[in-house]
Amino acid sequence: MVWKFSMHLMSLIFLSLSSLICLSMSLLSLQGSLSNVIEWELFSLNSSLIVVTLVFDWISFMFLSLILFISSMVLFYSGSYMKGDKNYNRFMYLVIAFVISMNALIVSPNMISILLGWDGLGLISYALVIFYQNEKSANAGMLTILSNRVGDVAILLSIALFFMMGGWNFLSWGMYMGDNMVLVKVLVVVAAMTKSAQIPFSAWLPAAMAAPTPVSALVHSSTLVTAGVYLLIRFSMVFEDSTLQSGLLIVSCSTMFMAGLGANFEYDLKKIIALSTLSQLGVMLSILALGFSNLAFFHLLTHALFKALLFLCAGVMIHNLKDYQDIRMMGSLVSNMPLTSACMNLSNLSLCGMPFMSGFYSKDLILEVAFMSNINFISFMMYVLATGLTVSYTFRLIYYSLTGLSNLSTMSCVGDEENIMTSPMFLLGLVSILSGASLSWIMFPESHLICLSFFFKVLVMMLMIVGASVGYIINTMGVSNELSSIKYYHSSGFMGSMWYLPYLSSLDLSSQVLKLGKGCEMLMDKGWSEFIGAQGGYNLILKSIYWVQSSQDNMLKVYMKSFFLWIIMMILLLIWV
């Protein structure tokens, strides 16, 4: 027990100090417009240098500071949440390895060295998703890693195509990428879409909620899923005036709308928060597609803080409710768990964009800039509907879990007096309140003019009020009329199952691809390539050796024949000479 306590306490101290150092370095780099690049040349290949590159500018330092801070809170929180688990040490080592992989990804502007972090994230997230070692976790882990392997293959292909540029440093060579390198841009966008779970790769993010809740707070809110967004932020100079932007805008807006719609039909607490994360990832990529990479980075930072807080609050609720995750089994938790309820409401209101919360500063700015941009009507309507749906499912969650009728039955002794779990929540809540205004002052010191009509200016607040009212009223009505959705069974099933993406990702399409792969393996790897290649060559060598060996056996006939043959050859040679 002493070892467990010291482990999460030492992680808290070390990572918190590292976070403060990175934050200080970020402010210094931002103030002096400094960017430090470190390169180690390994060897040269056909005039292309194979180098390991590290970049330290204000963006990488700021993101490092955020991840180290959230990691310190999550590891300290895990000291209580996972203390009864027999694989506690393995869990802590896996989380620390994940943080190291994410740090390697952040500071690497090189397509080859970025693979260290990129593949490390995929491998360790798989190990964390299957941590509980049951059938559900195994299926979720397989869906997660196979979906992410598509992005890994895209990164590998882009490395091969980057060879034409003479180097793999996309910060240096990216600005020279012309129209002939459009395939590289497509591959990078596909890689980012798989990591950030955009359509059609969205199914793995809710499935990955099979991992322990502290993992969800760290991995699936602030690090792994934002790796794709971060990669596109680094590549943002490449996509200016690109036709890829319009395609990425449609995909991200569709993901944002689909996730918001699905969360209103979901009853699993962690999956609701996962769909909320998916919706906010769509917001980040959509504003990135419009060309505002700084705004996307701003929302990435604020969202990571309040979403990690939301996951930690959900973890406390699940932990105290004896591992129940169905929100219909909760209710009236505000009287039993006041501190957890306060922190959860704080993060929920930040998610909705309530004025002067951290999410307001980034989300409201993103929506106003999007309304001011030259976007089509479909994208505009998806923005509007997704914003209203976000507030709707948030207030639905508040009604079912925190207020409403109590469905706890015999579990009436729940409480939130565990200091090791509530202290990180309190600190994250404090930072979530202060981060929005502070980061906006730091990142945007100069005022920018946003010219909107009165209707568009108040549209966001109107959507919040309408969404909150609709979400709360529908669910109070649903308590007395629960089976009314059966009348619209097919529509409810379509909207509540993420437009059937989990079924398409795990059943029909994957089974056909796996059958095709098995046929190719039997035909090629275990068929003609074996017959002609390695196995055929091996059999040919064996037959040759057997023939040579049989000819060298101690047989008198063979010796006599070879003796007379050599005598005849010598006589003929003498006669010829």
The pLDDT profile of the chain, 577 residues, written as one tens digit per residue, is: 444 446 777 878 888 888 898 888 888 888 888 888 888 887 777 777 777 888 888 888 999 998 899 888 888 888 877 877 788 888 888 888 888 888 888 888 888 888 888 888 888 888 888 888 888 888 888 888 888 888 888 888 888 888 777 777 777 766 666 666 788 888 888 888 888 888 888 888 888 888 888 888 887 777 888 888 888 888 877 776 667 788 888 888 888 888 888 888 888 888 888 888 888 898 899 888 888 888 889 999 998 888 888 888 888 888 777 777 788 777 777 777 888 888 888 888 888 888 888 888 888 888 888 888 888 888 888 888 888 888 888 888 888 877 766 666 555 555 555 677 788 888 888 888 888 888 888 888 777 777 888 888 888 888 888 888 887 777 766 555 555 556 666 666 677 677 777 777 666 556 677 778 788 877 777 777 777 777 777 888 888 887 777 766 666 677 777 778 888 988 888 888 6
| Contacts with 317 (C-beta within 8 Å, 6 or more apart), sequence order | 269, 330, 333, 337, 340, 344, 401
CA gap 216, 225 in Å, rounded = 11
Whole-number pLDDT of residue 245 = 80
Angle at 227 between CA 221 and CA 228, to 5 degrees: 110
Q: How far is CA 96 from CA 17, 45, 67, 68, 103, in A?
A: 15, 34, 11, 10, 11
CB 34: neighbour CB atoms within 10 A?
A: 13
CA gap 78, 276 in Å, rounded = 23
Is 517 contained in some domain? yes
* CA-closest candidate to residue 65, choices 7, 23, 3: 23
Q: Kindly report whether the peptide bond that precedes residue 355 is cis, defined as omega within 30 degrees of 0.
A: no
Task: Copy the structure tokens of residue 391.
Answer: 């507030």
Q: How far is CA 14 from CA 57, 75, 103, in A?
A: 22, 11, 15
| Contacts with 79 (C-beta within 8 Å, 6 or more apart), sequence order | 4, 5, 7, 8, 9, 420
Is 561 contained in some domain? yes
Three-state SS sequence of 184-227: HHHHHHHHHHHHCCCCCCCCHHHHHHHCCHHHHHHHHHHHCCCH
Whole-number pLDDT of residue 158 = 86
Is 332 contained in some domain? no
Q: Do 521 and 546 fall into the same domain? A: no
Exposure of 345 by Cβ count < 10 A (0-12 exposed, 13-18 middle, 19+ buried)? middle
Whole-number pLDDT of residue 399 = 82
Whole-number pLDDT of residue 418 = 66
Is 543 contained in some domain? yes
Whole-number pLDDT of residue 200 = 83
267, amino acid identity:
Y
Whole-number pLDDT of residue 2 = 43
| Contacts with 296 (C-beta within 8 Å, 6 or more apart), sequence order | 229, 232, 233, 284, 285, 287, 288
* CA-closest candidate to residue 463, choices 374, 348, 383: 383
Is the Cβ–Cβ distance between 298 and 440 less than 8 Å? yes
Whole-number pLDDT of residue 1 = 41
Q: How far is CA 561 from CA 267, 407, 573, in A?
A: 90, 100, 18
Torsion angle, alpha carbons of 347, 350, 356, 362, to 10: 140
Is the Cβ–Cβ distance between 154 and 191 less than 8 Å? yes
CA atoms within 13 A on the CB side of 455: 1
Is 521 contained in some domain? yes
Whole-number pLDDT of residue 411 = 54
Q: Which domain holds residue 507?
A: 490-526
Q: Where are the beta strands (DSSP E) in 12-78?
A: 36-45, 48-56
- Give phi and psi for 129, each to the nearest 5: -65, -40
Task: Copy the structure tokens of residue 254.
Answer: 């569709």
Is 408 contained in some domain? no
DSSP 153-193: HHHHHHHHHHGGGT--BHHHHGGG--GGGHHHHHHHHHHHH
User: From the CA atom positions of the chain, what is the Rg in Å?
Assistant: 30
Angle at 183 between CA 178 and CA 186, to 5 degrees: 105
Is 320 contained in some domain? no
Q: Which residue has the tokens 């906006």?
A: 440
Is the Cβ–Cβ distance between 227 and 195 less than 8 Å? yes
Q: Do 521 and 543 fall into the same domain? A: no
Number of domains in the chain: 2
CA gap 336, 402 in Å, rounded = 9
CA gap 407, 81 in Å, rounded = 24
